[in-house]
Structure 1
Amino acid sequence: MSEPFLIGENMTGGYGTGADILHGCTLAVEKGEIAVIVGPNGAGKSTAMKAVFGMLNLRTGAVRLDGEDITGLTPQARVGKGMGFVPQTSNIFTSLTVEENLEMGAFIRRDDIAETMAQVYELFPILKDKRSQPAGELSGGQRQQVAVGRALMTQPQVLMLDEPTAGVSPIVMDELFDRIIEVARTGISILMVEQNARQALEIADKGYVLVQGRNGFTDTGKALLANPEVRKSFLGG
């Protein structure tokens, strides 16, 4: 059996010298797949994803990308390896224009970014219309598009999204999910934490239900949606 493209395996750890938040947690995603992490508040969802990105200390476990052990790498070094991370808040430069935000996303690149910029504008046409506008003047949904677009400017192999639809309307949520599906179709792996569990599992190839920092249920998105226990405990029946 070949290993998943990205795996955080048996991760136990927490922030700094604090108590462990994760307890033997495993997350994995294949190339071009969408993997969604859901679960109750305080389950360690965002912490688990941050662990994969190198933002907390693991006491046990390992993170491997395309077969390479990257457990000891800083988040910055992981970006260089092809990982993009979009935090839930403070994820854009509000005083810079939309286009300047996208240019900031490409800071590690030394090649021509024009083609990637064009791809981002194709994915998010509204950003092209508003490219000269300060990002702080945009709506919540548009800001999220800027944040995702900026991460795509690094040409990541894996895109990690922390609650991309937090605080946006249902219409905007559907639109963002459609764009996320489009990104995955280009071969980029998506790992995301999402509060809108039912809607997220509908687009997920793989779903992880975390409970108190542990894997509660792991299956395809469709199977988790159909699982009576998952429905009752985590999806409101």
Structure 2
Amino acid sequence: MADPFLIGDEMTGGYGAADILHGCTVAVEKGEIAVIVGPNGAGKSTAMKAVFGMLALRGGGVRLNGEDITALTPQARVAKGMAFVPQTNNIFASMTVEENLEMGAFLRRDDIAATIEEVYHLFPILREKRRQAAGELSGGQRQQVAVGRALMTRPSVLMLDEPTAGVSPIVMDELFDRIIEVARTGISILMVEQNARQALEIADKGYVLVQGRNAYTDTGKALLADPEVRRTFLGG
């Protein structure tokens, strides 16, 4: 069987001597949304960092479009088409919105104007605020800047670590709608999300991690319908 478009396969690793991930596998197909959920301390963000190359693996590997990229640095993975939006410190606060977007295209040598237009089409509020310092924006708007900046690399994979952390339910729904739009353009989305129920509603694939291991893996709909998953992880 062919690999999924992106797979972190049987990943084992952590920080220092202690392993946080124990044979954990997460994957996403082209143009699909895969969501990693689970309790605090389950290794969700660690799994994302491992896939992006921010964590040395002691076992397992990462493959993108059939190529083994386990040994590549995060910068080299960006050049291969991966983009990562961390949960915090993900914008240049003193720069304008538009300058943030331009910074996202630092690897490109072509005209970026059309991509900036695409980001403004996706997030119309950013066009309105393009001359404003990004640090002055609301939390939800800052997240839009962070996602927009990542999209400036024209990635094939967009990785989001807790994209709706600290935003209101209305802003969360709007961000999820935009994430669905991004996936429809053919970009694969792998994200960690604390709002598990809402995230699984938009997910093609869901991974429930517990203590760095895969506890449940299925479609988002199947996980939402699983009574054990609902009782243990989704509050009934």
- Superposed pair shares fold, TM > 0.5: yes
Distance 2:154 2:27 in 1: 20
Matched with 1:5 is 5
Mapped to 1, the partners of 2:210 and 2:94 lie a distance apart of 39
- CA distance, structure 1, for counterparts of residue 69 and residue 177 of structure 2: 31
Structure 2 regions of 5+ residues with no counterpart? none
Shift of 1:2: 1.8
For 1:121-178, what per-residue CA distance to the aligned partner results, in whole angstroms no more than 9, with x for missing partners?
0000000000000000000000000000000000000000000000000000000000
Counterpart of 1:229 in structure 2: which amino acid? Answer: E
- Rounded Cα–Cα distance in structure 2 between residues aligned with 1:14 and 1:224: 27
Q: Number of matched residues?
A: 236
Give the 5 Å matches for 1:1-237. 1-15=1-15, 17-237=16-236
C-alpha distance in 1 between matches for 2:115 and 2:228 = 43
Q: Percent identity?
A: 86
Extract unaligned runs of 5+ from structure 1: none
> Which runs of at least 4 in structure 1 moved beyond 6 Å after TM superposition?
none
Report the TM-score, using the length of structure 1 for normalisation. Answer: 0.99
Measure how far apart 1:231 and its partner are: 0.3
TM (norm. structure 2) is 1.00
Determine the C-alpha separation between the residues in 2 that align with 1:88 and 1:49.
11
Displacement after TM superposition at 1:3 (Å): 1.2
Give me the whole-angstrom Cα distance separating, in 1, the residues matched to 2:14 and 2:107.
29
Give SS of 2:9's match. Answer: strand
Q: Distance in 2 between matches of 1:87 and 1:57?
A: 18
- 1:10 aligns to what SS in structure 2? strand
